[in-house]
Structure 1
Amino acid sequence: MGFNEDARRVSGSMLDPRVIDPRQELVRHDDLTEVDLERVVVLLTALRSWREAEQKLSFDSRSKMKLNDTDMKALRYIIASANADVAVTAGALSEHLHISTASTTKMLDRLERAGHIERRPHPTDRRAVTVAITEETHREVRRVMGAQHAHRFEVAKGLNSDEREVVIRFLTDLAAIPQLPEDPEDAEEPEAAETPAR
Structure 2
Amino acid sequence: MGVEDGPSAGLADRPEVGLVPGVPQWRTTGTLSALQELVEVSETVPAAVARQAGLSTSELHSLRHLMRGPIGPVDLAKVLGVTSAASSGVVDRLVRHGHAERRSHPEDGRRTEVVITESGRAEVLARMTPMFESLAALDATLDDREREVVERYLRGATAAMKNLMS
TM-score when scaled to structure 1?
A: 0.63
Q: Which has the higher contact order (CA 8 A, sep 6+)?
A: 1
The secondary structure found in structure 2 opposite 1:176 is helix
8 Å contact 2:103–2:113 — kept in the other structure? yes
Name the residue aligned to 1:27: 24
Name the residue aligned to 1:133: 116
Name the residue aligned to 2:55: 67
1:58 aligns with 2:46: yes
TM-score when scaled to structure 2?
A: 0.73
Q: One-letter code of the match for 1:160?
A: D
The 1:25–1:140 alpha-carbon spacing in structure 2 relative to 1, beyond 3 Å, is closer
Q: Distance in 2 between matches of 1:105 and 1:142?
A: 24
The 1:110–1:17 alpha-carbon spacing in structure 2 relative to 1, beyond 3 Å, is farther
1:16 aligns with 2:16: yes
1:111 aligns with 2:108: no
Q: Displacement of 1:59 after TM fit?
A: 3.0
Q: Displacement of 1:120 after TM fit?
A: 2.1
Q: Distance in 2 between matches of 1:180 and 1:96?
A: 15
8 Å contact 2:100–2:116 — kept in the other structure? yes
Number of residue pairs the alignment of both structures matches:
151
Structure 2: gaps (5+ residues): 1-14
Structure 1: gaps (5+ residues): 1-14, 30-36, 82-86, 182-198
Moved more, 48-57 or 60-69: 48-57
Q: Displacement of 1:57 after TM fit?
A: 4.1
Q: Displacement of 1:52 after TM fit?
A: 4.1
Q: Displacement of 1:26 after TM fit?
A: 1.2
8 Å contact 2:46–2:60 — kept in the other structure? no
The 1:28–1:139 alpha-carbon spacing in structure 2 relative to 1, beyond 3 Å, is same
Name the residue aligned to 2:140: 157
Q: Distance in 1 between matches of 2:42 and 2:77?
A: 25
Measured on the aligned residues, the alpha-carbon RMSD in Å equals 2.8
The secondary structure found in structure 2 opposite 1:147 is helix
Q: One-letter code of the match for 1:58?
A: P
Q: Displacement of 1:53 after TM fit?
A: 4.1
Name the residue aligned to 1:194: none
Deviation digits for residues 9-49 of structure 1, max 9, x if unmatched? xxxxxx9335x35xx841326xxxxxxx6xx5222222233
Q: Which runs of 4+ in 1 moved over 6 A?
A: none
Q: Distance in 1 between matches of 2:158 and 2:57?
A: 19
1:77 aligns with 2:65: yes
Q: Distance in 2 between matches of 1:131 and 1:25?
A: 47
2:75 to 88, 92, 105: 92
Overall identity of the aligned pairs, in %? 26
Q: Distance in 1 between matches of 2:62 and 2:68?
A: 10
